[in-house]
Structure 1
């Protein structure tokens, strides 16, 4: 599995994906989606849910979640900062749901909402951005209404797992290890190791590797940086190790990955 490609801070992402599988992670944004083909297992704080064709799903901010595809899957995905839709929808944008999976009978209508939002995200028209946010608010509102959403517990502290993942997300470029996390967060390294194996279902080493490869993939797609520079930028001290681990996770060398993404981008622009 590969680390899920989350959106940058303060941005609305709306895309059609043919893969959901990813390591457990969290972010400060709302995540919602619609399965239009296939099925996937979704894990929320370690609890398993199955999402299949016709199902929508909703993940509140700062919630540890992951996906494990059971077969080929296609899904519309929305990742939205709560503050983007707060003026339209208020604080209910961050509500929690008793069950994150909502089966939709009117699938075609839901698909049209996602498609229109995705088109507006790609548009360069001056009003497109606000239009996309309006569609995002409409989608999230509909899902929360159907899911019997409740307000979050405002005074609830972040769990140890949330703190650990947030620290890794902010410091993956550094030469960090379990001793580093222990010193910075105040937990014993043995406890941190148990959190990874028990709550996050992976090891610290694999999770850190996933973060770095995810960042490298983003740089290979969006910049002209050399493979060597990218390896050092995302926290590697040995380019050979970076190349080997990148290939293990993606099935391609960094150079092959960059070439494939450039070709895909050119094909999409020519349509």
Structure 2
């Protein structure tokens, strides 16, 4: 869903303590807190991460981030299909989503530097395998499996359909609960409830397209799930503080400045 624009099978980047709505994807996501605190949610587990704490989100696990006062992290997102070793390891056990490991922090910082310097991919992949091996801690056999609830079903449905004209009624039907119940659950878990969550996903999609594609703004509007230009502009500006055109100009100028440096 949100990472479908990535040209490569791995991405390494810095992350601040900004919020990001509930979502899922087919990649592995590793986040290492390097400073301050990061509020992370993964598979119904909610944790405040501090320095050297690690979150590992496996393919199709629902996760999100909530804003904290301060916090820095490094995020690795990669397609598990890049390696038969990684893929077979994922399929051979059940692993913890949260661990503490100082050595991983050091390795991830080195990987970020290599990635930013354009180091060739065999070296990047080598580091990835080492990090992946160190973050995996198997759950105990008697660890209770987390049941799939209506909220999880709704999030998965929305994640696969948010660019279409979905409604609370349709989503609640898919989740097997009443509209009133699902609306209440969303309001308890997400500021602004169902409607705001749907808008946030669409805006994030639009931001990616504005930055990484050459589509015209009206085309991006439709690709992101909006059907009205005025609504698109209003919602986008309420989230980012800029119109879609201003945002594209901003990210383009930032890229050009980075190239000069």
TM-score range, shorter chain: 0.7 to 0.9
Q: Distance in 2 between matches of 1:110 and 1:208?
A: 33
The match for 1:91 among 83, 88, 92 is 88
Q: Distance in 2 between matches of 1:148 and 1:186?
A: 33
Matched, 1:75 2:70: no
Q: Distance in 1 between matches of 2:238 and 2:128?
A: 36
Are the structure 2 counterparts of residues 136 and 211 from structure 1 closer, same or farther at C-alpha, using a change threshold of 3 Å? same
Structure 1 partner of 2:195: 205
The match for 1:135 among 115, 127, 138 is 127
Matched, 1:227 2:217: yes
Conserved? CA contact 2:31–2:74, under 8 Å: yes
Q: Distance in 2 between matches of 1:92 and 1:248?
A: 43
Structure 2 partner of 1:14: 12
Are the structure 2 counterparts of residues 150 and 139 from structure 1 closer, same or farther at C-alpha, using a change threshold of 3 Å? farther
Post-superposition, which runs of at least 4 consecutive aligned residues in structure 1 deviate over 6 A? Answer: none
Give CA-to-partner distance per residue, 1:82-140, whole Å, 9 cap, x none.
2223x123533365444613141674344213433x248x55x5xx2x54333222211
Give CA-to-partner distance per residue, 1:139-175, whole Å, 9 cap, x none.
111111xx4446899x988543333222212222222
Structure 2 partner of 1:177: 167
How big is the shift at 1:193? 2.4
How big is the shift at 1:196? 2.5
Conserved? CA contact 1:33–1:57, under 8 Å: yes
Give CA-to-partner distance per residue, 1:10-35, whole Å, 9 cap, x none.
83222223344211222222110222
* Gaps in structure 2 of 5+ consecutive residues: none
Other structure's SS at 1:17 match: strand
Q: Distance in 2 between matches of 1:178 and 1:54?
A: 39
How big is the shift at 1:252? 1.8
How big is the shift at 1:217? 0.4
Give CA-to-partner distance per residue, 1:45-65, whole Å, 9 cap, x none.
443311123333222222222
Matched, 1:267 2:251: no
The match for 2:33 among 35, 39, 43 is 35
Structure 1 partner of 2:63: 65
Conserved? CA contact 1:231–1:242, under 8 Å: yes
Structure 1 partner of 2:157: 167
What is the RMSD of the two structures over their aligned residues, measured on CA atoms?
Answer: 3.2
Are the structure 2 counterparts of residues 6 and 150 from structure 1 closer, same or farther at C-alpha, using a change threshold of 3 Å? farther
How big is the shift at 1:246? 0.8
How big is the shift at 1:265? 0.8
TM-score computed with the length of structure 2 as normaliser:
0.82
Are the structure 2 counterparts of residues 222 and 170 from structure 1 closer, same or farther at C-alpha, using a change threshold of 3 Å? same
